[in-house]
Amino acid sequence: MTAEQSLPELDPVIHAQARLRVVAALNVLGEGDEMAFGSLKDLLGMTAGNLSVHLSKLEEAQYVRITKTHKGRTPVTYVALTKRGRLAFEDYTKAIRALLDNAGGTI
């Protein structure tokens, strides 16, 4: 790697393993689609508390949208990836690919 080449920056909000898993799972949904909190929790095998903490961090960065509503009398929370979140995930995956491509020349 030459001096003018630099390693890509990885988004620290997405880079945490649990948040990366959340964003990757939500990215599979169509734009505007959402997933129930419980379904996301089960899919990722996370505890409710752990998922809540990571969703708060993603929501703070405006990468996810949280919608709290009711289904009948039962409260339901839905999670969706925002347009900003999709772009951040796309940039993150490009940066990872670039990092891996550059790793081949440094080993």
Q: What percent of the chain has pLDDT over 70?
A: 92
Predicted TM-score (pTM) of the model is 0.86
Please give the CATH topology (third level) of the domain spanning 12-99. Answer: Arc Repressor Mutant, subunit A (1.10.10)
Is 18 or 32 the better-scoring residue by pLDDT? 18
Chain-centroid distance, C-alpha 87: 11
Name residue, tokens 């169509």. 30
Name residue, tokens 């020349």. 105
Say what the pLDDT of residue 3 is: 37
